[in-house]
Chain A
């Protein structure tokens, strides 16, 4: 190799190294500047995406007064099963001014635009939020998406969850074997509880309601723990290590958490959407009235 050629190779190597270094510095600088790079520092348990900004006009007396909606998605992605369909769909409506909330459970087999609604999540959680928001006539502000591994990791990360099991469960498909009553569950057990549908004649309808029970029980337990700053910081640090944040920072998570834990889960209605038919489900009697009740202030006032 001639000296000139060696010189060219060295220059090329130096250029590549400089580009790499500058690229890394650029990403680091962007991170420092507040650009939310969607990377979790540990295993990713969940993804949190902010879809719509909370308008400054909604800020009254230092707080957000306007109701807003959060879509909670449990997707079915796991080894051997791709696609990440939204098999658990729950919309939490929060009214900060009234310190109240309601939750509507959407069966995964609900028909939407000629297909089952859970297909939306195979495109993205945002697409799933658009579909569910379209069904209910609301704009969803945040979407939280979790897969099987993330769910178990998250539940184990908070030390398990106490679930009020509503009925006998004995299902080899999901691995759910529970007696009625309060049961402390690991991540794997909680996943089994949330997946069991073969125990029930109405299959996914009871399952989706049970998922709502699980969510509220987890909120109840976390709320009891979040009584001082260290416990809040511990949970937030866990999320910081394992959540992929998009359009939202840890400061937002902190205040969202404070808001969530200021709500009394005992006063949050857990309502499964009325449905009709089988296979691809249609809206049942009362569904439109329920949605209208929900979308005006994020709270379902009438009994459903």
Chain B
């Protein structure tokens, strides 16, 4: 696989991709996020900026004619990926609980494992609340699989997330590689497969966890 840079021209779609990039940047732009602001009802919420995902590289694979990613679709998928890190990663680190929208991010076939067997690998529930929090995310590798007519079948987002915080037991560093694959369920884009690797480093050492979902034939 050779990732196609966002400025690629070989598909003759540079302009559309540029529009997509602008749209996606606008989506993540502003640097503000609702979860950043502490509220009166939840005074423990940390007043820190959390990472905002932005598109870096785009890769298009097609079983038929190749089409650029529809900007609205790319924006929607990036929004779901952002919701994932907000609900699964930042919400537990700020409040000790998963975000309310966590389960709904997943395909119905995946919800049981995402909220059950894989919940500790997919989220920061086990780390829980931290008193200090800083985060950074790599640009998102946005990829798509198109069918025989060039129709969008799946979209993938790959990115790394780094988090630093302080728990009651001391400082903790978290590195996550997050791969989410999205399919449209008729209403919205949902996570239909995932592969998440996480490494937690604290004074006690480093532990790694892996979760792979979406293996249902």
Contact = CB atoms under 8 A, between A and B. Distances in A.
A240 B147 contact: yes
B26 to A, nearest CB: 24
A255 interface: yes
Contact of A62 (B111, B157, B158): B111
Contacts of A237: 61-63, 145-146
B59 A230 contact: yes
Nearest to A248: B217
A54 interface: yes
A251 to B, nearest CB: 7
Contact of B148 (A41, A61, A232, A251): A41
Interface in A211-241: 227-234, 236-237, 239-241
Contact of A254 (B154, B179, B212): B154
Interface stretch (B14-22, B112-120, B198-206): B112-120
Interface stretch (A73-81, A121-129, A199-207, A256-264): A256-264
Given A255-B214, A255-B216, A240 B64 contact: yes
B153 interface: yes
B117 A61 contact: yes
Nearest to A260: B215
Contacts of A287: none
A96 B212 CA distance: 12
Given A230-B59, A258-B214, A62 B3 contact: no
Given A229-B156, A233-B59, A240 B113 contact: no
Which DSSP category, helix, strand, loop or mixed, fits chain A's interface? Answer: helix
Interface residues of A, number: 31
B109 interface: yes
A241 B150 CA distance: 11
Given A62-B216, A262-B215, A41 B143 contact: no
Interface string A264-290: 000000000000000000000000000
Contact of B63 (A62, A63, A236, A259): A236
Nearest to A28: B149
20 contacts: A61-B116, A61-B117, A62-B216, A68-B217, A227-B195, A228-B141, A228-B158, A229-B143, A229-B158, A230-B141, A232-B145, A233-B154, A234-B1, A237-B61, A237-B146, A254-B154, A255-B214, A255-B216, A258-B193, A262-B215
Q: State the 3 A-B residue pairs at the shortest beta-carbon distance, nearest first.
A: A229-B156, A240-B63, A259-B215
Given A41-B148, A234-B61, A240-B64, 13 more contacts: A62-B108, A62-B109, A62-B112, A62-B216, A64-B216, A227-B195, A228-B1, A229-B181, A230-B156, A233-B59, A240-B63, A258-B193, A258-B214
